[in-house]
């Protein structure tokens, strides 16, 4: 699979895939004899995982940390689990924040929508 095909299948742009390779977020791809990247379908699983980390707000530098541990093999598994668990805890806390904000925005916005010239205090 060449980069255009991977872009279609993964939802990333070819630009982004090359960028991720450059910074070390996805492994250096084998090149075919004309120098083009040639991907195995298994890369999609890794990209999907990265995508979930991204969706849940993990910064690239942390994904790089995870990717580096992964490159070092099974010996780093405990550390990777710990990293993920800390991330999940942050995400759960963020979800709680979002829900709390949503709740306020549902129930308080009438008062807060009034123009500045009126009294906005509770």
Partner DNA sequence: TGTTGACTTAGAGCGCGCTCTAACCCCTAG
Partner DNA sequence: CTAGGGGTTAGAGCGCGCTCTAAGTCAACA
Q: Which residues bind a second copy (CB under 8 A)?
A: 27, 41-42, 45-46, 49, 52-53, 55-56, 70-74, 77, 80-81, 84, 87-88, 91-92, 94-95, 97-99, 101-102, 104-106, 109, 112-117, 119-122
102-120 in b/e form (b: 16+ CB < 10 A) is: eeeeeeeeeeeeeeeeeee
| 118 conformational bin, left if phi > 0, alpha if psi -120 to 50, beta if neither | beta
Alpha-carbon gap, residue 14 to 18, rounded angstroms? 6
User: For tokens 């990777």, what's the residue?
Assistant: 80
Q: What one-character DSSP code corresponds to residue 1?
A: -
Q: What is the pattern of x (binds DNA, CB under 7 A) and - over residues 51-80? A: ---x----xxx-------------------
Name the minimum Å distance from CB 105 to a second copy: 6
Interaction partner, residue 24 (DNA, a second copy, none; CB < 5-8 Å by kind): none
Name the minimum Å distance from CB 43 to DNA: 13
Name the minimum Å distance from CB 7 to a second copy: 20
């Amino acid at each position: 699979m060449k980069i255009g095909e991977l872009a279609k299948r993964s939802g990333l742009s070819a630009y982004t895939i090359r960028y991720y390779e450059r910074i070390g977020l996805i492994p250096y791809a084998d090149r075919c004899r004309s120098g083009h990247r040639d991907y195995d379908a298994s890369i999609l699983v890794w990209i999907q995982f990265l995508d979930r980390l991204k969706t849940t707000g993990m910064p690239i530098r942390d994904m790089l940390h995870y990717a580096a541990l992964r490159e070092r093999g099974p010996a780093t598994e405990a550390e990777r689990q710990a990293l993920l668990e800390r991330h999940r805890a942050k995400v759960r806390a963020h979800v709680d924040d979002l829900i709390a904000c949503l709740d306020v925005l549902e129930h308080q916005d009438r008062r807060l929508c009034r123009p500045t010239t009126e009294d906005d205090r509770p």
